[in-house]
């Protein structure tokens, strides 16, 4: 769990060609990640996170005076050990964003395949 008041990243797109700037952004993050060793060579993993952003006091632009949004991330994946120093990894990630500004709402699906080397 993490909470912060951030002085940067206070400018956001609140319309098709519109950027609004806020005096302050508060961020709360809560997440968990876990893994399970299925066999000596295969590990499964998954997790999720919830992030809430609160933009306070519009200072420039025509967006809402205060803006709130949240993002949920869910992920699952697997890793296969080729040898003690080389792994093939694949994962699926789903992100959903909701906001007071309709132009900032989204659903995103990502599939990743890669190799990981340790040395």
Q: What is the CATH number of the domain that holds 41?
A: 2.40.160.40
At 61 the three-state DSSP class reads coil
Alpha-helical runs (H) found in the chain: none
The predicted model gives 50-72 an average pLDDT of 89
Tokens of 58: 């519009």
What pTM was computed for the model?
0.77
- Residues 6 or more apart in contact with residue 39 via CB below 8 angstroms: none
Tokens of 92: 């699926």
> Could you tell me the residue range of the domain that residue 67 belongs to?
2-117
Q: For 46-59, how does the pLDDT look when each residue is reduced to its tens digit (9 = 90+)?
A: 999 999 999 888 88
CA distance 17 to 104: 12
The predicted model gives 37-49 an average pLDDT of 97
What pLDDT was estimated at residue 64?
83
At 102 the three-state DSSP class reads helix
Domain total of the chain:
1
Tokens of 10: 């206070």
């Amino acid at each position: 769990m993490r909470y912060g008041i951030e002085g940067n990243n206070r400018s956001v797109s609140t319309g098709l060609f519109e950027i609004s700037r806020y005096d302050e952004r508060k961020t709360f993050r809560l997440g968990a990640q876990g893994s399970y060793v299925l066999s000596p060579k295969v590990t499964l993993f998954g997790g999720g996170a919830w992030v809430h952003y609160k933009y306070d006091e519009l200072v420039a632009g025509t967006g809402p005076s205060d803006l709130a949004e949240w993002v949920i991330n869910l992920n699952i994946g697997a890793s296969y050990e080729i040898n003690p120093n080389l792994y093939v990894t694949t994962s699926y990630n789903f992100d959903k964003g909701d906001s007071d500004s309709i132009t900032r709402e989204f659903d995103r699906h990502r599939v990743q395949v890669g190799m990981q080397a340790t040395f």
